[in-house]
Structure 1
């Protein structure tokens, strides 16, 4: 059974930065992401959260476009966030998790083309310094939005994380990790 791919791979006229599609977001945080054309359609963050559990079971993933590259990045970031929640001692409350992960989302991180970027073989380096900065701003915005939605999913209405979500910290999508 093949892995699940992004529905945004076939979108026309999508800007590419370092072979990553810059896709529209339903977001409250400021950044370069374009506004969604169809507000009722789930965005890439919703897709990443929905496909995380199924795709985390796969060690191989055929990339079909720039949206899949963004999906891979987001799935690995979700895994990193869940690992941080699971490793917290004592276990973070919902508010603490949101605060800690929001801080993690804006921390400095490696981009494609950097020596310490773990997925260098799958991504092209940014064409210029301006493209690298635009990519950093976009990924920061996407990471912030993902953290806000992920904490809502993992904690729900309780103050303790769902063990069902945290069980996926043992799985490594494609055998990779962002940290």
Structure 2
């Protein structure tokens, strides 16, 4: 059975840096991504309809995370798949920071720190996925890519915390934490 690929592979009007797609995001976090409309008060933040104009790659990453982490191989079909890979690996890193006895506030602090800390970009010697990602052509592209990935990291932490602490603000979901030991493609960030 093959892994699930991004439904955003068919988007042709996506800006690409290296071979990483800068897809539109539904976010309040500042960054270079084109901003999709926010959800209305009647919409469910956790179960966004894939047909909605507000559905983005981060919603898809959270939906496909649990299924795709079971795979050791993943055929990359385009720039959207690279964003999906990065998002899945970042979610794995976030779940590793959440301890079973952490409250929602403690987890929020830990994940915000993780999202904002300095991280390697494709092409840097310490970037673990250099075989899959091409580096930016110049410094301006590298700065834009850093801002976009930072925007992804910050938004993913917000959405992940709303799912992990959905049932209780004091204890994380055991179901989500059960994926902390799984390594998608045998890699981590």
TM-score range, shorter chain: over 0.9
Shift of 1:100: 1.4
Q: 1:164 to 1:37 in 2, by over 3 A?
A: closer
Within a 5 Å distance, the mapping from 1:99-138 to structure 2 comes to 99-138=109-148
Structure with greater helix percent:
1
Question: What's the Cα RMSD here?
Answer: 1.4
1:47 matched residue in structure 2: 60
Q: How many residues align?
A: 175
Displaced runs of 4 or more, over 2 A: 36-41
1:170 to 177, 181, 184: 181
2:17 matched residue in structure 1: 17
Shift of 1:32: 0.7
Shift of 1:37: 7.3
Separation in structure 2 between the aligned mates of residue 118 and residue 4 of structure 1, nearest angstrom:
22
* Structure 1 residues without counterparts, runs of 5 or longer: none
Shift of 1:122: 0.1
Separation in structure 2 between the aligned mates of residue 27 and residue 54 of structure 1, nearest angstrom:
24
* Structure 2 residues without counterparts, runs of 5 or longer: 40-51
Separation in structure 2 between the aligned mates of residue 38 and residue 31 of structure 1, nearest angstrom:
16
